[in-house]
Amino acid sequence: MTESVASPLRRFRTAARYYLAGRPPYAPRLIADVALLCGLSKAERVLDLGCGPGPLAVALAPLAGEVVALDPEPAMLQAAVEHASRAGVAVRFIEGGSEDLGPHLGTFSMVTIGRAFHWMDRARTLERLDARVAARGAVVLFADRHPEVPDNAWLKPYRELLEQYAADDAGRAERKAPGWLTHEAVLLGSAFDRLERVAVIERRRTAIDVFAARAFSMSSTAPDRLGARAHELERRVRELMASHASGAAEVTEVLETEALIARRRRDFAD
């Protein structure tokens, strides 16, 4: 079945500049754990699909022989190029998406997708990746969530505030509908049906500015989508987070960054 998710093209044009500043970074320990579990080495190639401004590509570049990163949004790629340059790592960036997973890319030991899988025709993407992932290779979906702990008391009102500005986003509503399959369900119906999950939970201190950038880093509340309401949302976010902040204008958040590692069961059959 083909999914009808709205195209992400240009949805992140103005969100790109806020992404690295606003989105929670993946824990370095999580990156190291995934590299170890997947046997990543300097002899291996990695594909970062839907790379955005390159947080995964840049983090994995010192651990792999080559990292190729694809994204359909030019503004995201420009941010990724700048990010890699600041980090002093080599990444091959290509403008393109999941529909461009052709033989010209070669094969990879690991394909990473961070916070982007829901934008793709997931079943078709996994079919294409079956031809691009080497034997015993892996597709790794990275994500984050906030556990239900007292430190995260700010989360519910923060989400409710953003919902007021994103409620008319049809693509977002579709992904939240009851019939939307989880990533796990899609993976179990694909060639990559051998699943394991690894996660790191951390308590972090986050500046109020970050929560305003986080709102603008989302396609449903990106500045160009909100127009004149963008300044209003920023003001309300700052007021809300200030009510949860300490004297240092920081908010405590407990964050779980996780990786869902999917391999082919047939690669490990006796």
- pLDDT tens, position by position, 136-190: 999 999 999 999 999 999 999 999 999 999 987 766 666 666 788 999 999 999 9
- C-beta of residue 76 within 8 angstroms of C-beta of residue 219: no
Domains of the chain, each with CATH number or no CATH: 16-148+171-200+257-264 (3.40.50.150)
Q: For 51-63, how does the pLDDT look when each residue is reduced to its tens digit (9 = 90+)? A: 999 999 999 999 9
Angle among Cα 229, 214, 144 to the nearest 5 degrees reads: 140
Low-confidence ranges of the chain (pLDDT < 70): 1-10, 170-177, 270
The sign of the dihedral angle between the CA atoms of 11, 27, 252, 207 is negative
Neighbours of 140 (CB within 10 A): 25
- pLDDT value for 6: 40
